[in-house]
Structure 1
């Protein structure tokens, strides 16, 4: 029996990880699921939002590799998951800047077609970003929508009813038509949407030849110590990023972190998980907005910043260090 697999796509900050967390609440207890997550930078953040437990395997593909033309890291990760975990269902979350076509080609290719049952590709869109002409002109953004079977307006509580309806009316005019167009808030995807059969002949409008971009994999990074965070830069897909990992013995001041995230004017996307005392929080920022949520993750503090141009990363590291309490708590 083939294993159902879905691609959950969408631009940076649209809420893909939140949607997957919501879907996991509907996972039948008897099933084994595997989640494969890809992020742009070398410092992975999204996996910290999902707690691995019995019946659930989380695997990361670092640095945007999932959408590279060669696709070797994705092939290796997928093959390993199939052999070792033998999942009943697979969900794949590519980086928000990644083109979905290479992944779909791999899933439907000769080595996987007899193993995997590729179900509907689900694309999340923030109507506020769609309303921005620069976003609509982005070729990856367009092809994420072109290749989607199910198109979902997310964050509609922030977008408002009028803009959400305008987006849905536009989506209704697309050809080939979408199999489902819906609107949600907080990533509340319906579990039943995963079972929708895909339309077989969706085509990308733009080239998906994406060369392997420059980054370092997290397994290559040293262990941070107090006063010596690990830093790693990356660039590709038209973006520049920098990530830091801090020792788990270092404690951040939450009000200062809030101030730091509220002043990221030149940073397009920022996400981090931080120890703030006995509690740990994830802070997620995009387009000048940020959210804070408490986390079960306890391994280390880490943050990734993404910008359209290379920034003075030393400046941001200085600002992060200023958010630390002077005396770390062991």
Structure 2
């Protein structure tokens, strides 16, 4: 069956929210969702780099964020980057969201290791131009990450800035005035046309095209205003595409073939990088996977909800993992159900309602002192290493509440 947009709603406003791993995209997306009118249906497509499926749960609940999440359809595409595997997972996910939920607005959050240019090229394709009305590309940048040479000299980190219409800068309060000025100059060199929004306590924005500070609105209101501003980045890409020879091919939809899922103690890694949503949704628990992608080591666990973990011990164990770049989870602990969201410059633990299972996912950088592209497995975890992690994690179970 060929993929078409004939049965879809047309001209759906669509916003792409990008940012390097750990930049703080979830916070920005929550701000955008908080602006949803009560009578509108929105959809959110989340691309997770791992296979467990946690990012959707990390979004604030209706009680925590005063958002009518009943009218927000959330779909997760797990197991790889939708921009660098193939176009098929992205097209399937968008098609299902538009046809099944008929939203009035779509927000797409790619994984933090995505390649924005490739994703923008996909969304600029002719078969999406009638279905999606692409709004400003919003990119989130962490001032704390930029402060480190290994990030600001890394091409993947810079790529997010180059392809942004709007750059949202957060976690910058520790920067000196000279560093903030240097950050602004660095941004301007990479993308002189980008509009910069400084979050947190500063209620102003900087428009690099005029180099004037605008204090007419708060950062939050300026962010929300981007939902209705067209994307100059995508317009340029579409113009470039039109100048190329027309070699469009239609993509046929084929049934998704799910990989066999392994139990916690079988200790098999998943080798290929196909993107499947809800890949671990029907596997027998406890379950663990591990793999290596783009010089990152990934591992994740899904565990029965009746396992109750030592809250303090779990946090201590997670923070001792080697060269961790991101830790996220939703876990039943001695302090109740907790949402865990760790980046090297932000540790967040909050309470949440009970879930059907506990989930943990860790992303380990192969070396903390070198740009990711130049590293070749300085850290290499074997089957025995992951099996040891299984045992250490299970040792933190205080009781089994069946």
Task: Report TM bin, short chain.
Answer: 0.7 to 0.9
Please say if 1:8 is aligned against 2:28: no
Q: TM-score, normalising length from structure 1?
A: 0.87
Counterpart in the other structure of 1:321 = 394
Pick from 307, 312, 316: which aligns with 1:259? Answer: 316
Kept in 2, the 8 Å contact 1:33–1:56? The answer is yes
Aligned residue in 2 for 1:209: none
Moved more, 84-93 or 285-294: 285-294
How many residue pairs were aligned?
A: 317
Residue-by-residue CA offset, 1:254-312 (whole Å, 9 max, x unaligned): 11122123323322221111012573111112226521112235121111111234422
Other-structure match for 2:223: 190
Report the equivalent of 1:201: 236
Tell me how far 1:247 sits from its aligned partner.
Answer: 0.4
Structure 1 counterpart of 2:214: none
Which residue is equivalent to 1:68?
Answer: 84
TM-score (norm 2): 0.72
Aligned to 1:147: 163
Deviations, residues 198-243 of structure 1 (Å, cap 9, x unaligned): 223369xxxxxxxx95368443565444xxx201123222212011
Aligned to 1:207: none
Aligned-residue CA RMSD (Å): 2.6
Asked if the contact 2:339/2:349 (under 8 Å) is kept, the reply is yes
Contact 2:85 2:275 in 1 (8 A): no
Q: Deviations over 1:114-135 (max 9, x none)?
A: 1101111111111121122221
Gaps of 5+ in 1: 204-211
Give 1 or 2 for the bigger CA radius of gyration: 2
- What does 1:46-85 correspond to in 2, within 5 Å? 46-50=55-59, 51=61, 53-85=69-101
1:147 is displaced (CA, Å) by 0.5
Note closer, same or farther for the CA distance 1:24–1:175 as it changes in structure 2 (3 Å cut): closer
Higher mean displacement: 96-105 or 79-88 = 96-105
CA distance in 2, matches of 1:166, 1:172: 10
Partner of 1:114: 130
Matched residues in 2 for 1:297 and 1:10: separation?
30
Query: Structure 2: which 5+ runs fail to align?
Result: 1-9, 63-68, 202-218, 239-270, 367-379
Structural mapping, 1:1-330, within 5 Å: 2-50=11-59, 51=61, 53-159=69-175, 163-178=179-194, 180-185=195-200, 190-199=223-232, 200-201=235-236, 214=273, 217=276, 218-220=278-280, 222-225=282-285, 229-277=286-334, 279-287=336-344, 289-296=346-353, 298-309=355-366, 310-311=380-381, 312-325=385-398, 327-330=399-402
